Amino acid sequence: MDKTNKLFFGTNMVLLTQNEEERYAFNANMNNARNLSHILKAIHFKDTATVFVTENGMKVTVEDAKCIQANAFIQAQVFQDYIIREDSITFCINLDILQECLSIFGSNPPSVTAMRMMYNGYGTPLVITLEEDGAVTGCSIKTQEPDQTLDFEFSAANVINKVIMKAECLKEAFNELDVTSEVLQITMSPDHPFFRLSTFGTLGQSHHDIPNTSDMVEFFECNQTQSNRYRLSLLKPSVKAVNLATKVCVRMDHRGFLSLQYMIKNENGQICFVEYYCCPDEELENNDNQF
């Protein structure tokens, strides 16, 4: 058997023929699998994720305890090829397995793995083909029926306070949080302390203050003082996101619901977003509210 023939067979596994591609309800490829795996890291705090696909892109959602939800948005443009033959596709997948598959050839530069992802509707597996340096990996991951995801009804119209800052300063604050504290209290106010993270642990009380004048703060719009507590164990996973992000937008609505939006840049310089929603800790919710 001649070598070019074998090589051709290998290439085929990734690119497939036109006919084979058409078989799939969803079929997309990416020249660097890390552009997907990197952003999924930011929401990877539970193994089960729900994937929604529309013509605009892919949204991957992870939830915990009916109180926190993380969404990663990967726009269609992040893929080099993006074909969807239905209005929308939804399925559940094991995120641990997906991540292992995406990084099968290693997860660090300089390795660059080309990836194609195919799904053919309810009950079928997610098929992923990856190629690097002539070696080809085929993965077939079982999918499950999609779960109903939570709707936090968080709308921009109800946002009372909003701050946008460089992720760097929140990263330090999040990584230094006193883990013995049950809750993280976030205070946003038009006056001192402007933006404050507080913990109440067995070791004592800590406050981390970022003033509106700090050069880390890019946008500051606080209309009234709001102070809400969130379970630290629920917010802790968002440390994964802040570590990858360049900017963060913190918003609180009239019910004290929290939205943390992280802006994450991929290796191609494209921008993706990860959003965390968290509801306030009910027992303590109103203790410190000053309105």
Partner 1 sequence: MKCILPAVNVKLFAKAIHCLAKIGLEIYFEPLENGLALKTVNLSRSAYVCFLFMRSMFHVYEHGCGDVTVNGDAVDTFKCKVAVKTMLQVFKSLSSIERSVESCDINLDEEECSLVFQLKCRHGITKTHQLTFQECDSIQAVFAKDLLPNILKCEHKLLSDVVVNFSPSLEEISLCVTPCRVNMKSYTDSDDEASLTMRTEMSLNPEEFADFQIGVDTDVTFSLKDLRAILAFCDVACIPIQLFFEGGGKPLIFTVEQENYFRANFVLATIANDEFSSQRENNVMSNTAFKTKMVNGSKNLQGKKSTTKSVGARYSRTKQSSINQQKTSSVLPNGSSKSTEMSNHGRTSPLNEIVEDTTRNNGGHADGSPEIPDQNFAVGQDHISSPVEPEYRDMREVFFAPCQNDDHTIVVLAPDSDEES
Partner 2 sequence: MRFRTKVFNIDCIHHFTNVVNTINKLLKKCTLRLTPDKLYFILPDQVSNGGVSMWCELKQANFFDEYQMDGVSSEHNEIYMEIIAENIVRALKSAHNAKSMKIKLTKKQTPCLTVEIELPSINSSSRLVTHDIPVSVIPRRLWDEYQEPTMPEFHVSICMPPLKTLKNIAERMKNLSTYLTLSANQEGDMVMKVETELVTVATRFQNLELPPFKDDDIASQAPSKLWPPTEMASARVDIRKFLQFLAGQQINPFKVICNIVNQSAIHFFLIHDDISLQYFIPAASV
**Where along the sequence are the contacts to partner 2 (CB under 8 A)?**
1, 3, 6-7, 9-10, 13, 94, 96-97, 100-101, 103-106, 111, 133-142
Contact 237, 67 (CB under 8 A): no
Output the smallest distance, CB 166 to partner 1, in A.
Answer: 9
> Where does 125-237 have alpha helices with state H?
167-175, 232-235
Burial of 197 (C-beta count, 10 Å sphere; 0-12/13-18/19+): buried
Residue 142 binds which entry of partner 1, partner 2, none, CB below 5-8 Å type-dependent: partner 2
Output 77 or 205, the one with its CB closest to partner 1. Answer: 205
Six token digits for residue 133 = 């340096």
Residue 121 binds which entry of partner 2, partner 1, none, CB below 5-8 Å type-dependent: none
> Where does 51-154 have alpha helices with state H?
95-102
The identity of residue 239, as a single letter, is: V
Output the smallest distance, CB 229 to partner 1, in A.
Answer: 17
**How large is the angle between the packed helices 95-102 and 34-41, nearest 10 degrees?**
140
Output the smallest distance, CB 257 to partner 2, in A.
Answer: 34
Output the smallest distance, CB 209 to partner 2, in A.
Answer: 41
Residue 141 binds which entry of partner 2, partner 1, none, CB below 5-8 Å type-dependent: partner 2
Output 210 or 278, the one with its CB closest to partner 1. Answer: 210
Alpha-carbon distances of 278 from 30, 37, 43, rounded to whole Å: 32, 24, 13
Task: Give the integer Cα–Cα distance in Å for 9 and 207.
Answer: 61
Output 199 or 225, the one with its CB closest to partner 1. Answer: 199
Binding site for partner 1 (CB under 8 A): 169, 172, 175-176, 178, 201-211, 213-216
Cis peptide before 193 (omega within 30 of 0): yes
Output 45 or 262, the one with its CB closest to partner 2. Answer: 45
Output 9 or 291, the one with its CB closest to partner 2. Answer: 9
Output 62 or 163, the one with its CB closest to partner 2. Answer: 62
Per DSSP bridges, beta strands 204-210 and 126-132 are: unpaired
Residue 15 binds which entry of partner 2, partner 1, none, CB below 5-8 Å type-dependent: none
Residue 106 binds which entry of partner 1, partner 2, none, CB below 5-8 Å type-dependent: partner 2
Output the smallest distance, CB 214 to partner 1, in A.
Answer: 4
Output the smallest distance, CB 72 to partner 2, in A.
Answer: 21
- Return the beta strands (E) in 65-124 as ranges: 68-75, 81-84, 89-94, 114-119
Output 138 or 190, the one with its CB closest to partner 1. Answer: 190
Output the smallest distance, CB 80 to partner 2, in A.
Answer: 22
Task: Give the integer Cα–Cα distance in Å for 233 and 161.
Answer: 23
Pick the closest to residue 260 from 200, 197, 208, 214 (CA basis). 197
